[in-house]
């Protein structure tokens, strides 16, 4: 246990161990090395080399690596963006039963990016991933039921899936669950979930959410909106300071 803690506290030593295991052909280590290179964690950031290691592991039918090749192709990490190829890799990962592959392929189907727009197929993938415990997919299943798209509109089913997504740690699920609770007059519980969503939500999400919260008739929820807004402002100032310091790597 002490050795494990030492490695956690020493990212460079951890990266060295992962590199040795990856070089010996361990697919899990190769996938981990790819992620370390994407993030620049314990090693110099190199998305192109990260993609190379994902491809090496993918040749061993390593489902998460196949999915990560798709992520790189979708987002242009270490390569040019290619949505059709990203979709092909997501589908391959989905066929291997990977929840993230199901989710990512479903997202492309939802938006018609690299594939033909198909909400029914997307819902089926999200539901499959949700049944495996994938929190982000649970939230999207809730949205389908909330909006009555493809499936019957059902407030009960939407609330059930939002709650499961919230419990699973998805900030969008936590926010949606809070919204339902607020509509039911359970403002204190709603604010607790809004606070949990704030801990992991992206700046873009918070920026879209805080005007809605500020428009609430409930004082406590308006105060949560102010917290969201302050967080967005703080993140903006932090990013501006980072750029001015010359550390912006984008």
User: Over the stretch 18-37, which tens digit does the pLDDT of each residue have?
Assistant: 999 999 999 999 999 999 99
Compute the average pLDDT of residues 66-94: 98
Q: What's the CA gap between 6 and 57, in Å, rounded?
A: 27
* Mean pLDDT confidence for 48-64: 98
Q: Which long-range contacts does 53-60 make (Cβ < 8 Å, 24+ apart)? A: 53/22, 54/30, 56/22, 56/30, 57/27, 57/28, 57/30, 57/31, 58/89, 60/27, 60/30
Map residue 26 onto helix, strand or coil.
coil
Sorting pLDDT into bands at 50, 70 and 90, what band is 237? confident
Euclidean distance between CA atoms 121 and 24, whole angstroms: 39
Query: Of 159, 188, 153, whose CA–CA distance to 173 is shortest?
Result: 159
Phi-psi region of 43 (alpha: psi -120 to 50; beta: other; left: phi over 0): beta
Please state which of the ranges 1-15, 87-101, 129-143, 169-183 shows the lowest mean pLDDT. Answer: 1-15
pLDDT for the residue 209: 97
Q: What share of the chain is helix, strand, coil (3-state, %, to 5)?
A: 75, 0, 25
Provide the 3-class DSSP secondary structure of residue 45. coil
Q: How many whole angstroms separate alpha carbon 179 and alpha carbon 174?
A: 9
Confidence of residue 240 (pLDDT cuts 50, 70, 90): confident
The radius of gyration computed from the CA coordinates of the chain, to the nearest angstrom, equals 20
Question: What are the residues whose beta carbons fall under 8 Å from the beta carbon of 73, sequence distance 6 or more?
Answer: 79, 81, 82, 83, 85, 86, 89
Residue 83 clears pLDDT 70, i.e. is over it: yes
Instruction: For the chain, count helices (H), then strands (E).
Output: 14, 0
How far is the CA of 210 from the CAs of 35, 171, 232, in angstroms? 32, 14, 9
- Number of residues assigned to the chain: 250
Measure Cα distances from 57 to 23, 32, 60, 92, 101 in Å.
11, 10, 5, 14, 16
């Amino acid at each position: 246990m002490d050795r494990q803690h030492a490695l956690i506290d020493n990212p460079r030593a951890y990266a060295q161990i992962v590199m040795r295991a990856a070089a010996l052909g361990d697919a899990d280590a190769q996938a981990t090395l790819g992620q370390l290179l994407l993030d620049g964690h314990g090693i110099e950031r190199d998305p192109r080399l990260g993609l190379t290691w994902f491809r090496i592991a993918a040749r061993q039918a390593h489902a998460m690596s196949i999915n990560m090749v798709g992520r790189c192709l979708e987002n242009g990490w270490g390569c040019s963006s290619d949505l059709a190829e990203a979709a092909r890799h997501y589908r391959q990962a989905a066929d291997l039963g990977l929840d993230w592959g199901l989710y990512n392929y479903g997202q492309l189907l939802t938006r018609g990016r690299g594939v033909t727009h198909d909400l029914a197929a997307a819902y089926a993938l999200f539901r499959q991933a949700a049944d495996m415990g994938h929190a982000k997919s649970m939230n999207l299943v809730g949205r389908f039921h909330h909006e009555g798209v493809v499936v019957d509109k059902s407030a009960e089913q939407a609330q059930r899936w939002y709650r499961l997504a919230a419990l699973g740690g998805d900030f969008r699920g936590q926010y949606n669950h809070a919204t339902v609770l607020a509509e039911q007059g359970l403002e204190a519980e709603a604010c607790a979930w809004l606070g949990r969503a704030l801990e992991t939500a992206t700046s873009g999400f918070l920026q879209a959410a805080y005007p809605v919260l500020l428009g609430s008739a409930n004082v406590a929820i308006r105060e949560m909106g102010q917290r969201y807004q302050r967080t967005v402002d703080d993140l903006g100032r932090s990013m501006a300071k980072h750029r001015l310091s010359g550390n912006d790597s984008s």
